[in-house]
Structure 1
Amino acid sequence: MAASVAKTLARIKGSVEEGAYYEAQQMYKTAFHRSKARNQLADALQILQEGAITQLAHGQVTCGVELGMLLIEAYTTAATPADEASVGRLLAIVLAFPPLPPAGSGSGAATSAPSTSAPAASSAGQGSNSPVVDECARFVASAVKWANKGGAIVSARGIHSAFAAYLWRNFGTEGFGRALLHFIRGDDAETFAQALHTCARQGPAEEVDLWLLRALLQVLTTANSHTRMGQLSQARALYDAFTAGLPTPLNTPTAHFAELMLLAVEHVPLSPHAHKMLQCAKQRYGDGVLRRDGQLAGQLERVEASYFGVRRRGAGGGSLGGLLGDLFKSLTEAH
């Protein structure tokens, strides 16, 4: 970075620390456009990243997100490749989202410093459905869209996971529904499993296995033609993390069905009999398991369509042969 740019950033940061958030926002934009006009694109992008992070560090979510969105716009205009450095800037902004107080606790932003700042969303305590979180989610959606379009699918998973962890860390079970949308598209199975365990402990003990099956189906049904194998890897990692975190192994029809369903999906590229394996699991456990939640059957149909190319629920089981049949037999006998 040019020395003059570094000096400018230091001066703007001073304005932020004095509480002149709106003035600082305009200064960041001006510095960005000047560097861009001089074809100093690297400096211009760095200005936006540092500006966004500095504003977020002071609880100014709207200002921070606005600079982050300008960064994505600059990427698009300049046809910036979605490489480690460019995606890393976006991830750094997500990781800088400020802590938020729970609903009803009031604003946590500093407002005492003299300023002519324009109104900005800061740490207003309105829970996970607040406009503040909506602003963060808007940036995350744009960042993920840009990364996916540039082929950085793995990096997009990291952005999803960072935001899911942020929501979970700030809101816990109250924000789990919103965090779930990102957990299932992310790559942090450990934190996802911990969140599921926490939620499950607040409900009936006999529904722990149902939390696992629901989560696996949600991960798998989110897959598209570009993310199918990544979602399968996430489902396997989640299954392993969830079961490893239990005091005793799950020994229920729902848990066995979840395990066999996952094994069947994993065998799709290995054996033409993979769908028959799933049909057998449905015959053995499906009637009782799928009745526990009205959404399970429809989700399972979508898994069959996505991974097995089956558009309608199979009516029959059929026999399995060879190694795959032996595997299914040993698993069902053990259960």
Structure 2
Amino acid sequence: MATKHRSNGGGVDRVSKKLQASVERGDYYEAHQMYKTLYFRFMNQNKHAEAIELIYSGASLLLEHNQHVSGADLCILLVEAFDASDAPVNSANIAKVTGLYKQIPADIPEREHFLSAALKWSAKGNPKKGCSHPELHQQVALIFWNEKSYALSRYHFVHSMDGKQCATMLVEFHTTQGYPSEVDMFITQVVFQ
């Protein structure tokens, strides 16, 4: 569970116990506050691995219990922790980001802030300086495709270097939302992007 941490002193242990009690009671507002308190304590102590583990499990728990705004808030802190700790931009961390991202409903404003922060963080791991990591773009493109947000999916596929999936999505995009005479326009838009 998200609330089990190594002993870090009386303050952290006390807050951890409060967090555990809040989760057991279903008091997710208080749990959200406790997650943030522990997160900032760990970060101030340069215990980045513990902060990342805590905030990731907290975001997962809150999102699973439909606490979307609070969960998204913790997701943003996760990316901040990745950035502050120079966490590697690897498949495992990208999976954490995208796994959380797809749990946040599209109408939650923090969702886009989270994605923006994640794309900025991922640029550190891309050999092309200043560009977000293609694997993150690919995973986000698949999420948007699944949500039938074709234009957003297309944008991320363009930056993903996954031409095959992009082409398959474009075929679906055209057949569900275009006219037969517009097939060339769907391809041209991607080329111009």
TM bracket, shorter-chain basis: 0.7 to 0.9
Q: How far is the alpha carbon of 1:64 from its aligned partner?
A: 2.0
Aligned partners of 2:62 and 2:71 also within 8 Å: yes
User: Once structures 1 and 2 are overlaid, which stretch shifts more, 36-45 or 135-144?
Assistant: 36-45
2:63 is the counterpart of 1:56: yes
Equivalent in the alignment of 2:113: 138
RMSD: 3.3
- Sort the Cα spacing of 1:145 and 1:210 in 2 relative to 1 into closer, same or farther, 3 A: same
Displacement after TM superposition at 1:92 (Å): 0.9
**Residue 158 (1) aligns with residue 135 (2):** yes
Distance 1:145 1:48 in 2: 19
- Unpaired runs of at least 5, structure 1: 100-121, 219-335
Quote the offset at 1:9 in angstroms.
7.2
Q: 5 Å matches for 1:252-291?
A: none
Inter-CA distance 186–57: structure 2 relative to 1 (3 Å threshold): farther
| 1:53–1:64 CA contact under 8 A, matched in 2 | yes
Match of 1:147?
122
Cα distance, 1:208–1:55 mapped onto 2, change above 3 Å: same
Cα distance, 1:60–1:187 mapped onto 2, change above 3 Å: farther
Change (3 A) 1:91 1:153: farther
Where does structure 1 differ by over 6 angstroms across 4 or more consecutive aligned residues? 7-11
Give the corresponding residue for 2:167: 193
Q: Note if 1:169 corresponds to 2:146.
A: yes
Q: Are residues 33 and 82 of structure 1, via their aligned partners in 2, closer, same or farther at CA, if it must alter by over 3 Å?
A: closer
Gaps of 5+ in 2: none
Give the helix-richer structure, 1 or 2. Answer: 2
- Structure exhibiting the larger radius of gyration computed from Cα positions: 1
- TM-aligned CA deviation for residue 28 of structure 1: 0.9
- CA shift digits 1:287-325 (9 cap, x unpaired): xxxxxxxxxxxxxxxxxxxxxxxxxxxxxxxxxxxxxxx
Q: For residues 72 and 93 of structure 1, do their structure 2 counterparts lie closer, same or farther at Cα, with a shift above 3 Å needed?
A: closer
Deviations 1:229-265 (A, max 9, x none): xxxxxxxxxxxxxxxxxxxxxxxxxxxxxxxxxxxxx
Distance 1:189-1:20 versus aligned 2 partners, 3 A rule = farther
> How many correspondences in the alignment?
181
**Secondary structure at the counterpart of residue 50 of structure 1:** helix
Residue type at the aligned position of 2:76:
M
Deviations 1:200-252 (A, max 9, x none): 1132223323322322221xxxxxxxxxxxxxxxxxxxxxxxxxxxxxxxxxx
Identity of aligned residues (%): 28
TM-score, normalised with respect to structure 2 = 0.73
| Cα offset, 1:167, TM superposition | 2.0
State how far apart, in whole Å, the 2-side matches of 1:158 and 1:69 are.
Answer: 19
Kept after mapping to 1: 8 A contact 2:135/2:160: yes
Question: Are the structure 2 counterparts of residues 141 and 196 from structure 1 closer, same or farther at C-alpha, using a change threshold of 3 Å?
Answer: same
Question: Structure 1 residue 81 and structure 2 residue 86: aligned?
Answer: yes
SS of 1:96's equivalent in the other structure is helix
| 1:23 Cα deviation from its structure 2 partner | 1.2
